[in-house]
A and B are shown apart, each in its own frame.
Chain A
Amino acid sequence: MSGWIGIYRAQFKTSFAQQLQYRVSLVLWLLGLVLEPTVVLVVWTTVARSHGGAVGGYDAAGFAAYFIIQMVVNHITFNWVAWDFQERIRLGNFSPLLLRPIHPIHIDIADNITYKILTSVVMFPATIGLIIAFQPAMHPPLWAILAFGPALLIAWALRFACEWALAMVAFWTTQVAAINNLYYLVMLFMSGTVVPLSLLPFPVQVVAGILPFRWMMAFPIELLLGRLSVTDALLSFGVQLLWLGLSLGILAVTWRIGIKRYSAVGA
Chain B
Amino acid sequence: MVFFPGSGPAIHVLDLRKTYAVTDREAGVTAALGSLVKRRTKEVTAVNQISFEVAPGEVVGFLGPNGAGKTTTLKMLSGLLYPTSGTVEVWGHVPWKRNKAYLRQISLVMGQRNQLVWDIPASDSFELNRAIYRIPQPEFRSMLASLTELLELEPLLRKPVRNLSLGERMKCEIAAALLHRPRVLFLDEPTIGLDVTAQRRIRTFIAEYNQRYEATVLLTSHYMADVEALCKRVIVIHHGKLLFDGDLASLVERFSPYKTIVVQLEELQAVEVDLTRYGYIVSNIDGRVTLRVPKLETASVTGRLLADLAVTDLTVEEPPIEEVIEQVFSEGVTVQ
Residues of A within 8 A of B (CB): 3, 6-7, 9-11, 13-14, 17-18, 21-22, 92-93, 95-96, 98-102, 259-260, 262-264, 267
Is A263 touching B81 in the complex (CB atoms < 8 A)? yes
**What's the dominant secondary structure at chain B's contact region?**
mixed
Q: Given A17-B120, A21-B120, A92-B113, are A99 and B131 also a contact pair (CB < 8 Å)?
A: no
A-B contacts, 7 of them at CB < 8 A, read: A7-B132, A18-B117, A95-B75, A95-B80, A95-B108, A99-B80, A102-B100
Contacts of B79 in A (CB 8 A): 98-99
Binary A-proximity of B133-154 (CB < 8 A = 1, otherwise 0): 1100000000000000000000
Is B110 touching A10 in the complex (CB atoms < 8 A)? no
B78 lies within 8 A of chain A by Cβ = yes
In-complex Cβ contact of B98 among A93, A95, A98 (8 A): A98
Question: What is the bound-complex CA distance between A262 and B72, given in angstroms?
Answer: 12
Is B80 touching A6 in the complex (CB atoms < 8 A)? no
Is B117 touching A98 in the complex (CB atoms < 8 A)? no
B191 lies within 8 A of chain A by Cβ = no
Contacts of A99 in B (CB 8 A): 78-80, 103, 106-108, 115
- Other A-B contacts than A99-B79, A99-B106, 14 sampled, CB-CB below 8 A, are A14-B124, A14-B127, A21-B120, A99-B80, A100-B129, A100-B133, A101-B104, A101-B133, A259-B82, A262-B80, A262-B81, A263-B20, A264-B81, A267-B110
Contacts of A260 in B (CB 8 A): 82
Question: What is the bound-complex CA distance between A229 and B30, given in angstroms?
Answer: 62
Is A10 touching B81 in the complex (CB atoms < 8 A)? no
In-complex Cβ contact of B131 among A6, A259, A263, A264 (8 A): A6
Residues of B within 8 A of A (CB): 20, 75, 78-82, 98, 100-101, 103-104, 106-108, 110, 113-115, 117, 119-120, 124-125, 127-134, 160
Is A6 touching B103 in the complex (CB atoms < 8 A)? no
Q: Which residue of chain A is the closest to B188 with respect to CB atoms?
A: A267
Nearest Cβ distance between residue A175 and chain B, in whole angstroms? 12
